[in-house]
Structure 1
Amino acid sequence: MTDRAEDHRVTRLFVIVVVLYFTGQMVLRLLHGGAYELDEAELSIMTPGYAWGYGPQLPLYNWLQLSVFHLLGRSLFALALLKALLLAGIYLGLFLGLRMYAPARSAALAAVSLFLVPYMAYETQRATSHTTIMLCMSSLFLAAFFWAAKKRSWAAYATLGLTMLVGGVSKYNFWLLPVCLFLAALILPKWRHAVATPKLALPFAIIGLLWLPYGWMLNNPTLAFASVGKIAMGTHATPTWVQGLSEAALAVISMVLFPLAIWGGALAFGRQPARNATPDLARLFSWTSGLMAGGICIGVIVADAGNVSAHWMLPLSILLLVSLALWLAPRLSERGATVLVIAAVVLALIVAAGLTYDRYKYGARKDADFVSLPSQIAEVTGNAATLIVADFFVSGNLKRLLPNADIAPYLARARFQHDGQQVLLIFRKNQPSDVEQALALAGWAEVNEFDTVATGSFALPYQRGGDPLELPFVLVRLAS
């Protein structure tokens, strides 16, 4: 079989497998049914209409989800479909970009390496939303960059600008990739032509439109920067960045360790002399990942950040694995490649089994039965106009049952969608800690006087039995 025919065969097989796998995951979620998961509930409550911003996260996922809701209705199917499309886009976008400079076999093995990251295989399917769309836009950005580098046309650079524009409203850490990739391309002579061109001015002119959503951020800092506290910036004499760097390093190690072990086993089973190597492409990813690692270290130190979440390290981990795959794939025999694919298939089966268990175990969020909650709330609030405020999980699932009710999450915008003074505050797992904190999170930070109308607890049964989910509540009437 010629190399061209082999490339076509691998491309068809890869696309078919990716589409079938994520279609299967969507069907699995629909079969599981039940209550919305945490991120699904958040998207249900955080899509009241098109706006430049909704809260701490950038608005792209909300916009897309709202569009799908308009087409298909507010349903679990609409939520699961968009998630499946975005997850498939991560792998297909990366494959498409790498195919412009690498054989289909190397591009497919690099994409498979992403799936070998347990977080990518499991958590992105189970819980994440904005991280998922950021990774999808990163893959599409890479594809646009390689198209621009190869074709050098105005259309290609316009597409590059559009992916940067859209990616810029997906998640803040999207920008690490374009900055580091452009710097790496400037450093490497083989890629310098892609960025040392007047045509690059077109993408930068296009992303100037970001002043619209970013301007909303500056005008609504309480909402836009509500998550800044997550990084635990140091306020003490002892710097906390050492802990932040340690957490970042451990996160990267935990993500790449399993794929590295699988690659090591695959090479042990089958190694061959390098064939169809792409050193320039591999070098670009190596430099980009090195620059990103340096940028993250500088950012942690300057911010004195003591808390670095593992999923923030996904872009760096992915770049490292793609770089590794591009160096090693040409040296992997068919036998070794088969080992790698078998490992991915086994992991896919484990993921399906794990998701099924997680959604059916006692006390699973999906298993909570919200059907009785509206009637329980009506008994407490009566006919009075009442704003219901709860965490994302409860408010999103309640909105599913009461689409016309006045329901809000614990964000400052809750205050501005309610004209009355009666507010029902629902707590879960002792969060918020008390009424004062609940009112502050909902936007009434300066309120000192309120009347407690009623207190108690709602009880939601689990479909599979066990102790019910207790939701303490406080009904308050605020001073006018």
Structure 2
Amino acid sequence: MSTRIHKFLVRRPDIVIWLVLGYFVLCVLLRVIRSDSLQNDEAEQAFQAQMLLLGYGRQPPLYNWLQYGVVHVFGLSVATISLLKNGLLFLCCLFYLVAARIVVRDRRLPFVAMLGVLAVPSVTVLAQRDLTHAVGTLCLVSLFLCAQLSVLKRPGLFGYLALGVTVGFGIITKYNFVILPVAAILAMLTDAQFRRRLFDWRVIPAVLIAIAIVTPHLVWVLYHLDLATTGTVQAMHDGASGNAAKDTMRGLISILESTLAGSIPVLAVFALVFYRDIGAAFRAQSRWTRLIGGMIIASLVLVALIGIGFGASSIRQKWLSPFLLLLPLYLVLKLDAIEGDMRQSVARMAPPLLGIVTAFSLYLALSNLIGPLIGDYGKEHIPYRSFVEQVVKERGERPAYVITDDLMLAGNLRLQWPDVPVIMPDTPLPVSLEAAAQIGSGLIAWPAKAGEPLPVSAAALLAAHGLILEANGNARQMAVPYLFSRGRATFPFGYAFVKQAPLPVR
């Protein structure tokens, strides 16, 4: 059987496209099976999908807009949240294949590049755990490569405009995307022909269209600068000691560690598959290897400079993922430069790599069952569905609205009650709270410790809108068994009901 598969892949390397698509379809199915409780980024998307805004917080809005569209077409569910993520990951692989075909001579090596994307931990490990905006960025990086390499190989006005569109949308997907075009410019300056493409008049309309795409969100950022920057800056200072020199050194070390963590799996896969060609590939080079290699180095240097400028003590691997995504293409270009026999390349790489990444997805699904056996409970074990079912049983009806100051609860309660508006203090309201309160009673919910009172922010929101708790006015506690725990451990919810507001007198 394995011999037949090998021979088939030798004859039909293009079948890899369908194998990769099948892998991401499987990821969607396994995510649905795993749990109906969400991870952090998933919960954020579920909550924010109530609103279509120019900005939502520390992340640019493009991914939120896409999620809003998917939810309003197909409904809110674990499946639709996972479908967008894995759909973008597949498009990332597909655009990567297209980009590689532009500059790679061997017809099989672009499929190797596509498979190489699956070896990037951000694509198959971090993304399948919990990433959203970073996934959108990976897709835009592949699209940027298509546009950039097309302009360099066959320049035309449409190509330049497509490049401008890609840069614009990339920036409003995740702010660190802006490093990539800057790194590309620096790398292109080292080659005379690339410099001519860089100083072509058609760059002007490309820049203008990128500015036009970014400007609406940029205006929002200027009016909400703290909201747009505080979270990211705080994350960059995680574990900071207060000693500037020490923290800067820690930040640079974290960049090195994150770079190694993101690149070693890719290098290992290519080394195992192409071990006979390592020496020749190491020595081989072309203008394309110099370009992509220069972009990788320039990106990491720019990240380091930004980290030093902000005094960052921690740079996470997911922040480097857009730049480490270039590595498979760089390695494929090195292999292409030696002009060796690559007829077996796809057949040797596809089965083990697809097997490994599929096994990891299966592991994620099984870990939810195994964790409770050893007392390990994660976010996907928190019993939101059981909580809302018991609330409805107690009241005999759903609340007219929900108030919570916890983002995980906000997203998960929205998932369980898609038609019930969920409100968080100090965020834009998806509906008028006064109007919602006139429809029926509301629910305030929070993750509770023993005896924990009503959250201060929720109480302030009620007071600001003239709302009061129901007659007894007491916060309640509900201990609900964790998913898959068989009742051995419980998660505590705090909750209270808000009295229905009187209808306005006409």
Q: Is the contact between residue 40 and residue 79 of structure 1 (CA under 8 Å) also seen in structure 2? A: yes
Tell me the equivalent position of 1:323. 330
Tell me the equivalent position of 1:162. 165
| 139-148 vs 30-39, greater mean Cα deviation | 30-39
Q: Is the contact between residue 109 and residue 345 of structure 2 (CA under 8 Å) also seen in structure 1? A: no
State whether structure 2 residue 179 is matched by structure 1 residue 176.
yes
Tell me the equivalent position of 1:109. 112
Residue-by-residue CA offset, 1:173-222 (whole Å, 9 max, x unaligned): 11111111122112222422321200011111012221101111221234
In 1: Cα distance, 2:396 partner to 2:311 partner: 46
Tell me the equivalent position of 1:392. 407
TM superposition shift of 1:52: 0.6
Q: 1:200 aligns with which of 199, 203, 206?
A: 203
Q: 2:43 aligns with which of 32, 41, 44?
A: 41
In 2: Cα distance, 1:476 partner to 1:231 partner: 39
Q: 2:385 aligns with which of 366, 371, 379?
A: 371
Q: Is the contact between residue 164 and residue 207 of structure 2 (CA under 8 Å) also seen in structure 1? A: yes
Change (3 A) 1:382 1:109: closer
TM superposition shift of 1:135: 0.6
State whether structure 2 residue 352 is matched by structure 1 residue 343.
yes
Paired residue type of 1:355:
L
1:191 alignment partner, SS class: helix
Change (3 A) 1:373 1:160: same
State whether structure 2 residue 248 is matched by structure 1 residue 248.
no
Matches within 5 A, 1:265-276: 265-268=272-275
In 1: Cα distance, 2:230 partner to 2:442 partner: 22
Q: 2:288 aligns with which of 269, 281, 289?
A: 281
In 1: Cα distance, 2:324 partner to 2:461 partner: 37
In 1: Cα distance, 2:349 partner to 2:17 partner: 17
Residue-by-residue CA offset, 1:412-434 (whole Å, 9 max, x unaligned): 436996447x996644487xx99
TM superposition shift of 1:15: 2.1
Tell me the equivalent position of 1:471. 492
TM superposition shift of 1:9: 6.7
Change (3 A) 1:32 1:288: same
TM superposition shift of 1:269: 5.0
TM, length-normalised to structure 1: 0.84
TM superposition shift of 1:284: 0.5
| 165-174 vs 215-224, greater mean Cα deviation | 215-224
Paired residue type of 2:289:
A
Q: Is the contact between residue 457 and residue 470 of structure 1 (CA under 8 Å) also seen in structure 2? A: no
Change (3 A) 1:16 1:73: same
Q: 1:309 aligns with which of 316, 323, 346?
A: 316
TM superposition shift of 1:366: 3.7
State whether structure 2 residue 28 is matched by structure 1 residue 13.
no
Tell me the equivalent position of 1:221. 225
State whether structure 2 residue 367 is matched by structure 1 residue 358.
yes
In 2: Cα distance, 1:221 partner to 1:415 partner: 22
Residue-by-residue CA offset, 1:45-89 (whole Å, 9 max, x unaligned): 111132111222111111111111222122333222212210101
1:124 alignment partner, SS class: helix
Change (3 A) 1:270 1:467: same
2:263 alignment partner, SS class: helix
In 2: Cα distance, 1:73 partner to 1:416 partner: 18
Change (3 A) 1:384 1:28: closer
Paired residue type of 2:55:
G
Paired residue type of 1:236:
G
Change (3 A) 1:194 1:13: farther
2:423 alignment partner, SS class: strand
Residue-by-residue CA offset, 1:303-339 (whole Å, 9 max, x unaligned): 1111212211212322244323321355565456544
Change (3 A) 1:340 1:11: closer
Q: Is the contact between residue 254 and residue 314 of structure 2 (CA under 8 Å) also seen in structure 1? A: yes
Paired residue type of 2:242:
H
2:126 alignment partner, SS class: helix
Tell me the equivalent position of 1:62. 64
Change (3 A) 1:337 1:375: closer
1:42 alignment partner, SS class: helix
State whether structure 2 residue 409 is matched by structure 1 residue 403.
no
In 2: Cα distance, 1:199 partner to 1:124 partner: 36
1:322 alignment partner, SS class: helix
In 2: Cα distance, 1:71 partner to 1:187 partner: 47
In 1: Cα distance, 2:178 partner to 2:351 partner: 34
In 2: Cα distance, 1:309 partner to 1:425 partner: 35
RMSD, aligned α-carbons: 3.8
TM, length-normalised to structure 2: 0.80
Q: Is the contact between residue 52 and residue 216 of structure 1 (CA under 8 Å) also seen in structure 2? A: yes
User: Structure 1 vs Structure 2: percent identity of aligned residues?
Assistant: 22
Q: Is the contact between residue 376 and residue 458 of structure 1 (CA under 8 Å) also seen in structure 2? A: no
State whether structure 2 residue 134 is matched by structure 1 residue 125.
no
In 2: Cα distance, 1:245 partner to 1:473 partner: 42
Q: Is the contact between residue 41 and residue 392 of structure 1 (CA under 8 Å) also seen in structure 2? A: yes
Change (3 A) 1:466 1:339: farther
| 55-64 vs 220-229, greater mean Cα deviation | 220-229
| 23-32 vs 232-241, greater mean Cα deviation | 232-241
Q: Is the contact between residue 35 and residue 365 of structure 1 (CA under 8 Å) also seen in structure 2? A: yes
TM superposition shift of 1:22: 1.4
In 1: Cα distance, 2:311 partner to 2:280 partner: 47
In 2: Cα distance, 1:190 partner to 1:9 partner: 37
Q: Structure 1: any 5+ residue segments left out of the alignment?
A: 1-5
Paired residue type of 2:332:
A
Q: Is the contact between residue 36 and residue 393 of structure 1 (CA under 8 Å) also seen in structure 2? A: yes
Q: Is the contact between residue 380 and residue 454 of structure 1 (CA under 8 Å) also seen in structure 2? A: no
Change (3 A) 1:134 1:469: farther
Q: Is the contact between residue 247 and residue 309 of structure 1 (CA under 8 Å) also seen in structure 2? A: yes
State whether structure 2 residue 71 is matched by structure 1 residue 75.
no
Q: Is the contact between residue 448 and residue 494 of structure 2 (CA under 8 Å) also seen in structure 1? A: no
Q: 1:262 aligns with which of 255, 259, 269?
A: 269
1:458 alignment partner, SS class: strand
Paired residue type of 1:200:
V
In 1: Cα distance, 2:378 partner to 2:93 partner: 29
Tell me the equivalent position of 1:3. none
TM superposition shift of 1:166: 1.4
2:492 alignment partner, SS class: strand
State whether structure 2 residue 482 is matched by structure 1 residue 462.
yes
Q: 2:297 aligns with which of 290, 297, 315?
A: 290
Aligned residues: 467
Tell me the equivalent position of 2:4. none
TM superposition shift of 1:133: 0.3
In 1: Cα distance, 2:28 partner to 2:398 partner: 40
Change (3 A) 1:337 1:374: closer
Q: 1:236 aligns with which of 220, 226, 242?
A: 242
Paired residue type of 1:393:
M
Paired residue type of 1:36:
L
Q: Structure 2: any 5+ residue segments left out of the alignment?
A: 1-7, 499-506
